[in-house]
Structure 1
Amino acid sequence: MNEAVHAQLNELVDELVDVPEFNHLLKTFIRDKAGERSNWGNITESTHRMLGGNSPHIQRYAALTEMLILSLDIADDLQDRDNDTKTWCQCPQELALNAVLAFLAGAFAEIGRLGGETIGGGPDAGQIASIVMRSVNGQYRDLAVTAETEEAYIAMVADKSGSLLRLACCMGYSGLKLPKETVDQLDELAIYLGIIAQIDNDLNDLLRFDTKNDVFQRKRTLPVFYLLEDDDESFPYLRQYYGGELSQEDFIVHKQACIRYIENSGCVEYSRIIQQLYMKKAEALLAGIDAVSPWKEKFMEANFIPVTTA
């Protein structure tokens, strides 16, 4: 998150929240988010400018993107209960939930206000709400572990994570006069980028061997599906654990053997191959969109797409 967007977020909180203690809490959460490698606002701005947009409110739109994503991040961490390092997980849960409501309501109030004051219109609040709702649907399917196959998991990720990228892009292009074909390309591109990002998260959470490890949490992700479908019987404890035959305490006894099994299984290499397939689709879509430099390159950098392939 760049300094200008951070300042806009603090300004928004000052405009929306007049309770000093609550104002301070929200700014603490924003500061925590600003310390991450957060590119959501950059994606919104680069999308807007690469498509020829020049709104004087683009920094505010970028800040609203960050505010919406932050509200969903807080909700996600409260639901998963696996990220104790975040400030919103260290305060009373009821206050963190109130912050989620404040960020959501505040963001949509400001989107509505700007839309009424901006010549030509800005981001459409109804459209943004629909995208957020799609992500929430995907989050439910993730929490309820409804995906029983790799294909179902990818579809869930497209909703949960792909919708967040679509949100960031839509906050940039909504209000611009674009051909429907371009909008469809951007939406499809965002879904692919969300899947790519989620695969990165899948691998990070598989290869960390603490309580946040997806295997210990019995989560079903792309590399985990690969492991569960593996015919290698050298480590039967994984299927037994996912099948409920082993408790977590009994499974952790085999932690070192599990680490070796994961490293030798090929699940990482398989996941990277799938990721590259979606990357190639994303690159092809982006190449077909008429976009302005250097903002097209900035969009690619914000999404970690190799610029040399453009």
Structure 2
Amino acid sequence: MIPDIQQQMLRIVDDTIEVEDLKALLKASIADKALENGSWSKITLYTHYMLGGASPHIHRMAAVTELIVLALDIVDDLQDQDHLSKPWMQVQQATALNAVLALLTGAIGELGRLQIRAEGLAAVGKMLARSVNGQQKDISGSPATPDEYVEMTQEKSGSLFRLACYLGCSFLDGNEEKVEQLNQLADCTGLIHQIQNDMKDLIGFDIKSDLIAKKRTLPILYLLKVEDEAFRPFKDYYTGLLPIESLLERKEELVETLHRSGCMEYARVVQSVCVQKAQEIYSELDALSPWKEKLKEVMFGEFLDE
């Protein structure tokens, strides 16, 4: 993370929160986030620059992007009880929830200080609501088909990429067509990254995996659909006929079954189609170099063939 953006995040915390223990948690969480060298603030910056922006306040807007994403990361970890070493997982859940509220409150306050237009605030709220809708579908295990999975993932993950791009456009006028192109690119990018995470998680096959949690990710949906007796334990587990202990007792055997099932190959094919679609959208985007190329690299460059 660019040091100035991290400093802007810390400033917003200081401007928002007075209680010292909560402030300390927020600053520790920001420091932890900075170590990830994530792409969210870069997406906001590169979008702004490639569309000809030169606002002196763009680092402040990028800090808003990071604050919102950090808040949603905390929510995601609380829901999944995952990443237990993170600062927000080392405190009482009530305190972690207050951290989420503080981050969102600080982000909203900063958007006000930056004088973002009313329609801009409405657009940000709509994107966040879209992400929450997708998150709820995810934790409830509602996707029953690949199409429903795609819709859920674009809502949950694609909306965050939309937000990062949109905040980069927020100081600029007359870019409605490009915003729509960026929205499509964001949805493709969210899907590409989520499929990657789903494949990695499935093979992990531990107590915190998507499979054990009965989530319906793309490779799992494929697995549940194929008529093969070798996959019966997975189907029985999802329907409640088989307890979790029976699955874990046969871990090595079932991991091998997963590798032979074709579910990973299926997910990779869908992912490659998404990458191709992202490249098509990107190629049609009229924007300035080198920022356009930098945006491509940070959003989905790692999935392109050398």
- After superposition, where does 1:244-283 map in structure 2 within 5 Å? 244-283=240-279
1:280 partner amino acid: Q
Secondary structure of the residue that 1:73 maps to in structure 2? helix
The residue number in structure 1 matching 2:147 is 151
The residue number in structure 2 matching 1:78 is 78
Q: Which moved more, 1:19-28 or 1:88-97?
A: 19-28
Does 1:218 find its partner at 2:214? Answer: yes
How many angstroms apart in 2 are the aligned matches of 1:227 and 1:3?
A: 44
Q: Is the 8 A contact 2:205 2:211 kept in 1?
A: no
- 5+ residue gaps in structure 2? none
Shift of 1:85: 2.1
Does 1:113 find its partner at 2:113? Answer: yes
Shift of 1:122: 10
Shift of 1:308: 8.0
1:150 partner amino acid: P
The change in CA–CA distance for 1:254 and 1:307 in structure 2 (over 3 A counts) is closer
Q: TM-score w.r.t. structure 1 length?
A: 0.94
The residue number in structure 1 matching 2:188 is 192
1:70 partner amino acid: L
Shift of 1:87: 1.5
The residue number in structure 2 matching 1:127 is 123
- After superposition, where does 1:46-125 map in structure 2 within 5 Å? 46-115=46-115, 124-125=120-121
The residue number in structure 2 matching 1:169 is 165
Shift of 1:216: 1.4
Secondary structure of the residue that 2:181 maps to in structure 1? helix
Q: Is the 8 A contact 2:71 2:99 kept in 1?
A: yes
Q: Is the 8 A contact 2:188 2:274 kept in 1?
A: yes
Shift of 1:131: 0.6
Q: Is the 8 A contact 1:224 1:267 kept in 2?
A: yes
Q: Is the 8 A contact 1:301 1:307 kept in 2?
A: no
The residue number in structure 2 matching 1:45 is 45
How many angstroms apart in 2 are the aligned matches of 1:77 and 1:198?
A: 16
The residue number in structure 2 matching 1:204 is 200
What's the RMSD between the two structures over aligned residues? Answer: 1.8
Q: Please list the CA deviations of residues 283-302 of structure 1 after superposition, one character each: whole Å capped at 9, or x if unmatched.
A: 11111111111111110121
How many angstroms apart in 1 are the aligned matches of 2:9 and 2:35?
A: 14
The residue number in structure 2 matching 1:10 is 10
Q: Is the 8 A contact 2:275 2:304 kept in 1?
A: no
Shift of 1:145: 1.4
Q: Is the 8 A contact 2:142 2:216 kept in 1?
A: no
How many angstroms apart in 1 are the aligned matches of 2:19 and 2:304?
A: 49
The change in CA–CA distance for 1:22 and 1:302 in structure 2 (over 3 A counts) is same
Shift of 1:144: 1.5
Q: Is the 8 A contact 2:223 2:231 kept in 1?
A: no
Shift of 1:143: 1.4
The residue number in structure 1 matching 2:24 is 24
The change in CA–CA distance for 1:172 and 1:122 in structure 2 (over 3 A counts) is farther
Q: TM-score w.r.t. structure 2 length?
A: 0.95
Q: Is the 8 A contact 1:124 1:175 kept in 2?
A: no
How many angstroms apart in 2 are the aligned matches of 1:308 and 1:287?
A: 14
Q: Please list the CA deviations of residues 24-52 of structure 1 after superposition, one character each: whole Å capped at 9, or x if unmatched.
A: 11001111222224110001100111111
Secondary structure of the residue that 2:300 maps to in structure 1? coil
How many angstroms apart in 1 are the aligned matches of 2:211 and 2:270?
A: 20
What percentage of aligned pairs have identical amino acids? 44
The change in CA–CA distance for 1:19 and 1:306 in structure 2 (over 3 A counts) is closer
Q: Which moved more, 1:178-187 or 1:21-30?
A: 178-187
1:248 partner amino acid: I
Q: Is the 8 A contact 1:162 1:190 kept in 2?
A: yes
